[in-house]
Amino acid sequence: ELRGLTERIKTALGDRVKDVRVTLRLTDSPSCLVSDEHEMGANLARILKAAGQPVPGSKPILEINPSHPMVERLKAEAPRFDDWSALLYEQALLAEGGQLDDPAGFVKRLNSLLLELTPKP
């Protein structure tokens, strides 16, 4: 079941990630971004970029916490699966100190998902 979920998330995220895999090291977070063992870490890439140095292109690996409620929700989510997957990725990117390519899109998506979860008055 988790293998199918990771494949669906990878498909939803497209070329933003190299891979999606399950991790058991996360406790409070739904997801995190890691670098492949042979690639440069995101922090070093940001330092080099800020120094004006060329940075080889690499994609992060999204690791998901299978017991987190957001990931649990994804297992049964159909209509907004892509949006929830993007939110997992974007939160992980922000948590590691990265910058979003589309901050306005993130806010719009987050607000839309929150409003769907909020009971109407």
pLDDT in tens, the chain (121 residues): 788 999 999 999 999 999 999 999 998 999 999 987 666 566 666 666 667 767 666 788 999 999 999 999 888 877 899 999 999 999 999 998 888 989 999 999 999 999 988 887 7
pTM, to two decimals: 0.81
Identify each DSSP E strand in 23-112 by its residue range.
31-34, 61-64
CB neighbours (10 Å) of residue 30?
23
Q: How much is the pLDDT for 121?
A: 76
Amino acid (one-letter) located at 14: G
Cα-based distances in Å from 118 to 76, 87, 114: 18, 17, 6
